[in-house]
Amino acid sequence: MARKIVITSENVAFLKKISELSDQVITRCDQCGTCSGSCP
């Protein structure tokens, strides 16, 4: 089951770090639920 990404003031630093490490734009996620290291 896919989970929606909710950006809040509490998790913005975490999401920025994930974006830096993965070189992906988290906010562009289409929430397909297959987070396996690359977007389709």
The DSSP string of 1-40 is --------TTTHHHHHHHHHHHT--GGG----S--SSS--
Q: pTM (2 decimals)?
A: 0.50
For residue 13, what pLDDT is reported?
87
Question: What is the C-alpha to C-alpha distance for residues 6 and 12, in angstroms, rounded to an integer?
Answer: 9
For residue 24, what pLDDT is reported?
79
CB atoms within 10 A of CB 35: 13
The band of 37, judged by pLDDT with boundaries at 50, 70 and 90, is low
For residue 33, what pLDDT is reported?
67
- What CA–CA distances, in Å, run from 29 to 12, 35? 15, 10
Give pLDDT tens digits for 18-35: 889 888 787 777 767 666
Single-letter residue type at 33:
G
Comparing 36 with 23, the larger pLDDT belongs to 23
